[in-house]
Amino acid sequence: MDNEFDYIIVGGGNAGCVLANRLSACGKHTVLLIEAGDDGQSHWVDIPAGFSKLLTNPRHNWRLASEPEEATMNRVIAIPKGKGLGGSTLINGMIYVRGQPQDFDGWAQRGCTGWGFDDVLPYFKRIEDYDEADGDLRARGGPLPLTTVKERPEIGRAFIRAANAAGHPENDDYNGASQDGFGYYQVNQRDGRRVSAAAAYLDPVRNRQNLTIWTGAQARRILLDGRRATGVEVVQKGQVRTARARAEVVLAAGAFHTPQLLELSGIGDPEILRAAGIDVAHEAPGIGANYIDHYCTRMNWRVTQPVTLNEMTRGLSLVKSVLQYALTRKGILTYGTGLVHGFMRTRPDIEGPDVQLFFLHASYANAAERKLDKLPGMTIGVTQLRPESRGTVHIGSNDPAQPPVIRPNFLATPEDCRAMVDGMKMTRDIVAQAPMDAFRGPEISPGESCQSDADWLQFARDNGQTIYHASGTCRMGADDAAVVDPALRIRGLDGLRVVDASIMPTIVSGNTQAAVFMIAEKGADLILRDAARRT
């Protein structure tokens, strides 16, 4: 049959591109990759700073949003999610953070055998082509080029010195032996250009005879024969198409769309399914629960010198920067969402950093849309690394065209509130240090009137945003409430796996794209090992 394959991968984002490459590599298996968006090609994708043009573009962004919730002052919070081959690696800030070893050891301690740090380190190393790799923890030669930010303005160096003055160490490689400290971010770029998952993993293998790619194909349900997944039904160019899987259907649609597709297929919490008018095919109450994301506040200061991106991206300065980038692939157009990193412990008795900082010499008139101020400014994003709060992602109807209903439940626990407040206070203390004297102007947001813990928490509730690290909605585990087992198979069903950020039992301590690359690399190995056992 023309539409019959060994493996069907639903979702052409970060994980899907890795899976398509690895599952088709041996040539023995036919693989179909299904992506609802287009091929993801755009000059704005290639230019690192172009992410600001993509965050509101429906061609490249699903433009999801949260439900209003009391803890975040009933605001609707924008939730970008990449659309097209490459997924969120087309529009994210390119920041590459593995997380802390204890993140993965914690997964193993929860019953996820084979997911401790020693188990996953080889997969991180398989991914990486890090140009400063040194020692046993980093690697060169992988598909994904990684480099430390090359543009290093003096204001960024002053911020690192200020952190040192406040008692925080300098750290050249937060993906190495220790995450603690301050330095410059690592990003997935080559020669000043963004390298998406599609560029790294999919483009080199597109011509494989055993790999088929459907774009513009919206999956609307998984086909089941009893307890076995047998295929996927999609809509492409207004026509319904069916693809059959001889071996497995692999869901890689991410923490929002993977649970949505499962529920549309009758797999999930019976109450949720019945409320949406869907017959129950398989009870799995954990689907759509355990939603975790990183919540971030952005503190802003005026800068007393014209050395920020606010003025560098206007008029003649912008023309010069465009010419510089066109000729040399250098300059301000190589920036993503972070210049200087900070990983801090808000208490001395915790095992690893619990707050991450993102310093950039820019300030925003509209942070959600990355519209810059006209006057010089700088921004420091503050996020709690290991939130306790858990939300939900569920369907609201049986219409596949409708977005899922997203309830993040941010700032729902005292510890989440405390860590955010302490992280912001520590950030203010860093900026107050002498090395920042030459640049520091008035604090714009939250401003000097913010002094008490109650003031800080109210600022967080009024102004915080997600930083697009959705995870956890198809939690991996060995307990009855887990959605997938440690081999990423959906419990109680055959021929159906999940390989994306939704399987994380807890969120990793940092930006999530590196962990998703790792999950996909390991997931591909798990699938291929099972294939070898069947032959």
Q: What is the DSSP letter of 185?
A: P
Full domain range(s) for residue 530:
4-42+197-289+471-534
225, 331: one domain: no
In a domain, 361, yes or no: yes
**% of the chain at pLDDT higher than 70:** 99
Going 156 to 162 to 166 to 171, the CA torsion angle's sign is positive
Q: Determine the pLDDT at residue 371.
A: 78
Cβ atoms of 168 and 160 closer than 8 Å: no
| Average pLDDT of span 469-497 | 97
- Give 43: exposed, middle or buried? Use CB within 10 Å, 0-12, 13-18, 19+: exposed
Sheet strands side by side (includes 186-187): 128-130, 144-148, 186-187
Pair (322, 371) in one structural domain? yes
**Among the ranges given (62-66, 323-327, 381-385), the one the predictor scored with the smallest mean pLDDT:** 323-327
> Is 455 in the same domain as 497?
no
29 is catalytic: no
Q: Are residues 424 and 453 both part of a single domain? A: yes
Structural domain contains residue 76: no
Q: Are residues 307 and 456 in the same domain?
A: yes
Flag whether 435 is in a domain: yes
pLDDT score at 280? 97
d(CA 31, CA 209): 10
Strands 355-360 and 340-344: antiparallel
Q: Could you say which of 401, 433, 463 is where a domain stops?
A: 463
Same domain, 435 and 478: no
225 alpha-carbon distance from chain centroid:
34
The pLDDT assigned to 2 comes to 66
Q: For residue range 15-34, list pLDDT tens digits in order.
A: 999 999 999 999 999 999 99
In a domain? residue 458: yes
Claim to verify: residue 373 and residue 502 sit in the same structural domain: no
| Whether 496 and 529 share a structural domain | yes
Of 164, 530, 115, which is closest to residue 344 (Cα–Cα)?
164
CATH number at residue 209: 3.50.50.60
On whether residue 172 sits in a domain, the answer given is yes
> What H or E segment, with its residue span, contains residue 480?
none
What rounded mean pLDDT belongs to the chain?
96
The predicted pLDDT at position 364 comes to 83
Residue at a domain's end among 443, 463, 483? 463
Whether 484 and 517 share a structural domain: yes
167 within domain boundaries: yes
**Residue, of 117 and 534, whose pLDDT is higher:** 117
Contact between 50 and 44 under an 8 Å Cβ cutoff? The reply is yes
101 domain residue, yes or no: no
The answer to which of 202-211, 229-238, 320-329, 381-390 has the lowest mean pLDDT is 320-329
282 and 310 share a domain?
no
Query: Is residue 404 packed enough to be buried (19+ CB in 10 Å), middle (13-18) or exposed (0-12)?
Result: buried
For residue 427, which amino acid is it? Answer: T
**362 and 509 housed in the same domain:** no
pLDDT band at 54 (very low <50, low <70, confident <90, very high): confident
CA distances for 79 relative to 243, 295, 303, 469, angstroms? 30, 11, 29, 9
Question: What local confidence, expressed as pLDDT, does residue 369 receive?
Answer: 65
Residue 96 domain-assigned? no
| Count of other CB atoms within 10 angstroms of residue 155 | 22
Q: Which of 78, 44, 76 is nearest to 60 (CA)?
A: 44
Is residue 82 within 8 Å of residue 88, measured between CB atoms?
yes
What are 330-378's pLDDT values in tens digits?
999 999 889 999 999 999 999 999 999 999 999 987 666 667 898 999 9
Q: Residue 299 has what pLDDT?
A: 97
pTM of the model: 0.97
* Total count of domains within the chain: 2
Q: Do 434 and 361 share a structural domain?
A: yes
What is the mean predicted confidence (pLDDT) over 182-210? 97
pLDDT at residue 55, rounded to an integer: 83
* Residues 437-452: tens digit of each pLDDT: 999 999 999 999 999 9
| DSSP designation for 513 | H
Residue 303 belongs to domain with CATH number? 3.30.410.40
Quick one: pLDDT at residue 451? 97
